[in-house]
Amino acid sequence: MISSHFGHWTLAWASVLNTPRHLAEVIETLDIEWEGAALYNMVRDLYPICRSITGDGLRQSLRLLQRHAPLSLREVASGTQVFDWTVPKEWNIRDAWIKNAKGEKVVDLNRSNLHVVNYSVPVRSTMSLAELRPHLFTLPEQPDWIPYRTSYYKETWGFCLSHRQLEGLRDGTYEVCIDATLASGYLTYGELKIQGATDAEMLISAHSCHPSLCNDNLSGMAVAARLAQCLARLPLRYSYRFLWIPGTIGAIVWLALNEGLLAKTKHGLVLSCIGDPGRFTYKRSRRGKAEIDQVVEHVLKESGSGFDILDFTPSGYDERQYGSPGINLPVGCFMRTPNGKYPQYHTSADDLALVKPSALAGSLHQLLKVVEVLEANRCFVNLNPKCEPQLGRRGLYRAMGGTDNSGLEEAMLWVLNFSDSAHSLLDIAARSHLSFGLLKQAADLLVGSGLLARA
């Protein structure tokens, strides 16, 4: 017992002492297997909770994330006007079931929280199957899966079940119970700001309102929390604002209540569906050529794996709100297999078997790379722009003729030529086909020798 306590103590201290000091070190030492297991455990812990756009399930989920990252819970009262919307009543559910004439529960919320249409009003009634039938939803083409349905803004009630379950229901009388409350309360969301050297912000947003669905979007919630934890103690150029919000209404609430902050939001990403093993998909911001678009596309190209790039569309996740014309923030959407493009989407099959530890950790790794490139991408100005500076005299060029195998000399020539305050390192990377890392190394050397300055 004593030795095991001692073991924990030394482990804890070892992790404090070994805390990496720089992002590059975090990325280099990232233990993909360990990260995958930790992220998967987070998803597994969140999975059983019945979340919605308001209510205790959402609160409980955010509190669970607080074990991993120091986010704050914010509460916004029902009835609060946010642009064209109103914060809805708070929904909480205790139980829901359908009993047959023998008193057997044929549908039971305790078996899957997808069984109740999310935001159903309370019901306690007895009815025939014919009367019940319009309130039952199934997926005939996937007869073993339970669909995910919501009715946030129209007061109604219903049950979702597998088509096979429905086919097993005999004519007769059924007792129906939805023990829920829909009453004045609050909408809850999670927020965490990591202060960097500047107030210019990168926004990371994950919708957190879906019940037991893993890829959409426990994957995004978990990876965002771990990303925040990784960045929290590092020296950073940008400030990072993380949001765990109910989809649509949460983004609208945050934007309406924080309009004064929006001028500081220079980059942003919505994270969703990043736990399945599919290839990465990046949906560009509405602006299309924003720096974040350039950065993510560059990182995915350098990853060496296949990926897809989609242009902005006004459908999908909260990039719709961040990219509405009156807001127009440069916020893209980082995904693996996009919403609606995998058969398990919005069904009970988006479960713990669909998401993979390695996929979760791979997503975290790519996002850390995105932050690394974003942090380092900037414009420089050549302080000796009239003809090439004499690099040899400064020890920056090979003394003897021959070939520079490192590519560094070529990189220095590219950086010097295009550092006119208008081209960033990524612009130069695109034009030269040299790696961002090499160009950054060249820029660092040139700054060190007084030939280049930050624009």
Q: Are 151 and 168 in contact (CB under 8 A)?
A: no
| Residues near Zn ion (CB under 5 A), total | 1
The alpha-helical segments, DSSP class H, found in 260-390 are 291-302, 319-322, 357-376
Q: Which listed range, 31-39, 209-217, 307-315, 359-367, lies at the site for Zn ion (CB under 5 A)?
A: 209-217
Q: Which is nearer to Zn ion, 201 or 216 (CB)?
A: 216
Nearest residue (CB) to Zn ion, 53 versus 368: 53
Give the residue with the Cβ less far from Zn ion, 137 or 397: 137
**By C-beta, is 339 or 366 nearer to Zn ion?**
339
Closest contact distance (angstroms) between CB of 304 and Zn ion is 30
The sign of the dihedral angle between the CA atoms of 155, 161, 167, 170 is negative
For Zn ion, which is the closer residue by CB, 38 or 221? Answer: 221
Work out how close the CB of 82 gets to Zn ion at its nearest, in angstroms, rounded to a whole number. Answer: 21
CA contacts within 13 A on the Cβ side of 158: 21
Q: How far is the CB of 153 from Zn ion (least distance, A)?
A: 16
Q: Which stretch binds Zn ion (CB under 5 A): 20-28, 212-220, 321-329, 373-381?
A: 212-220
Nearer to Zn ion, 334 or 436 (CB): 334
In 3D space, the residue among 245, 247, 241, 246 whose CA is nearest the CA of residue 261 turns out to be 241
Residue nearest Zn ion, Cβ-based: 216
318 is a site residue for Zn ion (CB under 5 A):
no
Rama region for 178: left / alpha / beta (φ>0; ψ in -120 to 50; rest): beta
Q: Does 319 bind Zn ion (CB under 5 A)?
A: no
Q: Cβ 243 to Zn ion, closest distance in Å?
A: 16
**Least Cβ distance, residue 252 to Zn ion (angstroms):** 16
**Crossing angle of helices 408-418/425-432, nearest 10°?**
120
Which CB sits closer to Zn ion, 348 or 419?
Answer: 348
**CA nearest neighbour of 20 among 442, 362, 368, 303:** 368
Neighbours of 442 (CB within 10 A): 26
Instruction: Please choose, out of 37-45, 171-179, 216-224, 412-420, the segment that lies near Zn ion by the rule CB under 5 A.
Output: 216-224
Name, in order, each residue with C-beta under 8 angstroms of 265's C-beta and a sequence gap of 6 or more: 201, 202, 203, 241, 329, 330, 331
Going 124 to 129 to 131 to 132, the CA torsion angle's sign is: positive
Q: Is 216 in the site for Zn ion (CB under 5 A)?
A: yes
Segment interacting with Zn ion, rule: CB under 5 A, options 23-31, 58-66, 192-200, 215-223: 215-223
Q: Is 385 left (phi over 0), alpha (psi -120 to 50) or beta?
A: alpha
The region of 213-221, 225-233, 250-258, 400-408 touching Zn ion under the rule CB under 5 A is: 213-221
Reported as type and span, the H/E element at residue 413 is: helix 408-418
Closest approach, Cβ 368 to Zn ion, in A, equals 25
Cβ proximity to Zn ion: between 211 and 332 the closer is 211
For 370-386, b/e burial (b = at least 16 CB within 10 A) is bbbbbbbbebbebeeee
Identify which of residues 347 and 432 has a Cβ nearer to Zn ion in the complex.
347
Residue 31 to residues 15, 16, 368, Cα–Cα distance (Å): 13, 16, 13
The secondary structure of the chain in percent helix, strand, coil, rounded to multiples of 5, reads 35, 25, 40
- How far, in Å, CA of 439 to CA of 262, rounded? 31
Instruction: Report the residue number, 35 or 216, with the smaller CB distance to Zn ion.
Output: 216
Give the shortest CB-114-to-Zn ion separation in angstroms.
12
Q: Which x/- pattern over 393-432 shows residues binding Zn ion (rule: CB under 5 A)?
A: ----------------------------------------
125 bridge partner residues: 176
Sort strands 280-283 and 331-335 into parallel, antiparallel or unpaired.
antiparallel
**Nearer to Zn ion by C-beta: 217 or 285?**
217
Tell me how far, at minimum, the Cβ of 308 lies from Zn ion, in Å. Answer: 19
* x-or-dash string of contact with Zn ion, 162-201, rule CB under 5 A: ----------------------------------------
Give me the least distance between CB of 378 and Zn ion, in Å please. Answer: 36
Q: What is the DSSP letter of 88?
A: P
Binding site for Zn ion (CB under 5 A): 216
